[in-house]
Structure 1
Amino acid sequence: MHFTHEPKRTYYVFAIMISIFLGLASRYINVLPNFIVNHTGDTLWAIMVYFLFRFIFASKSHNTAFYLSFIFCFSIEFSQLYQADWINTIRSTMLGSLILGKGFLAVDLKRYSIGIVIAFMMDKWIPSLFVKVKNKQL
């Protein structure tokens, strides 16, 4: 399906907001199972990063957001190996912690990879559903 850039951006804003909401819910709702609490937040963070890149680069290919998301997410994770006082002060805030994390975990790279792949597949699959529905209505 060929969206013009503005409707496409609206879709990405909606996807970003849903992933932020679900990601925060997965971190701060205490009744969720440990598996969800431990894995979902990072996966949803990567999904949000992917859709943020799609929003910024709406006229570029899906692959652009895919690769930039990997570079960004992995860079943030590896940056956590750097533990200087100034950046740890930023990481100690809620926003700093949500964006930069606190400490390197190799498993986060797997969570990010899963999230980016899920977002990439959703991004390619969901618009094609609209085409199928529209074609059936015609």
Structure 2
Amino acid sequence: MNKRNRWVYLLLAIIIMGAGLLSRKLTVYIPHIINIYIGDSLWALMIFVGAGFLFPKEKTKMIGMFAIVFCYFIEFTQLYHAPWIDDIRKTTLGGLILGYGFLWSDILAYSIGIAIGMSWEYYRYRFKKSA
């Protein structure tokens, strides 16, 4: 694995965040089957890219494992409801980061987002080596 370019990963994270926020505004124009997964998939992809930014020398597999564990952990914390954490979830940023309620479909969406990130890295570096 080549070292990741942190500037590229930072830019990707910003673009993915923007796409995720935009997807919440364009729900009317996005087909329902995509709409139910796109936000969470983009969130997980952003976590993957963010992990790549933080750990530029780690293998894609390790970045993927970190991202999936992080995303699943956040999702499973949504089963816990106490006044203090629900107050955090009521804020815009808290809701975007922590979510509101556990959904199995979110687990699938996270897996899709991270699979997209890992696939992109594998193909990017695979073809970069052969060029």
Normalization by structure 2: what TM-score?
0.90
One-letter amino acid of the counterpart of residue 19, structure 2: L
Aligned to 1:10: 7
Are residue 112 (structure 1) and residue 114 (structure 2) matched? no
* Number of the residue aligned with 1:78: 76
Alpha-carbon distance between aligned partners in 2 of 1:33 and 1:12, rounded to the nearest angstrom:
29
1:100 aligned onto 2:98: yes
Distance 2:88 2:81 in 1: 11
Alpha-carbon RMSD across the aligned residues, in angstroms, is 1.7
Amino acid at match of 1:57: F
CA contact (8 A) 2:2 2:57 kept: no
* 1:109 alignment partner AA: I
Corresponding pairs, count: 130
| Residue of structure 2 in register with 1:63 after alignment | 61
Q: What does the per-residue CA deviation read over 1:78-117, in whole Å, with 9 as the maximum and x for residues that have no partner?
A: 0000010110111011111110000000110011011111
Letter in structure 1 aligned against 2:7: T
What amino acid sits opposite 1:84 in the alignment? A
Unaligned runs of 5+ residues in structure 2 are none
In the alignment, is residue 41 of structure 1 matched against residue 39 of structure 2? yes
Name the aligned partner's letter for residue 82 of structure 1: Y
Give a deviation string over 1:111-134, Cα, whole Å, max 9, x none.
1011111101112223444556xx
Report the more deviating stretch, 65-74 or 28-37.
28-37
CA distance in 2, matches of 1:41, 1:89: 22
Deviations 1:32-82 (A, max 9, x none): 333332210000000000011111010111111110011100000000000
2:28 is the alignment partner of 1:23: no
- Bigger Rg, structure 1 or 2: 1
- Measure the CA separation in 2 of the matches of 1:127 and 1:15: 16
